[in-house]
Amino acid sequence: MPIKKWIFQYSIAFPILSALFSSVQYIKGQTVSYSVTFGLTWAFISIAIFATRRAYNFKKNIDCQLCNDLNGKEAQRK
């Protein structure tokens, strides 16, 4: 598994998602502490779901055009 690549991608995605979710809640009128907690929680949940599915697809050798982790010759479209 390309763990280093995934960790790098998720380390970039986590703060972006956290900021996005937090800012939306703050704009909706929530407090700053609630907005930050909400953003961190949902960013973690979103990344965990995506990472789990990505690892499953990698393990089962299912081609993912978005992920692009598999070699085109090895990938099987299901």
- What is the mean pLDDT for each group of 10 consecutive residues in the chain (78 residues)? 86 96 97 97 96 88 65 50
Reported pTM: 0.75
Is 51 a domain residue? Answer: yes
pLDDT at 1: 67
* DSSP 8-state class, residue 70: S
pLDDT at 46: 96
Is 49 a domain residue? Answer: yes
Is 38 a domain residue? Answer: yes
- Asked if 39 contacts 22 with a C-beta cutoff of 8 angstroms, the reply is yes
Number of domains in the chain: 1
The residue segments making up the domain with residue 43 are 3-59
pLDDT at 67: 59
Torsion of CA 33, 38, 41, 47, to 10 degrees: -130
pLDDT at 15: 96
pLDDT at 78: 45
pLDDT at 75: 46
Is 78 a domain residue? Answer: no
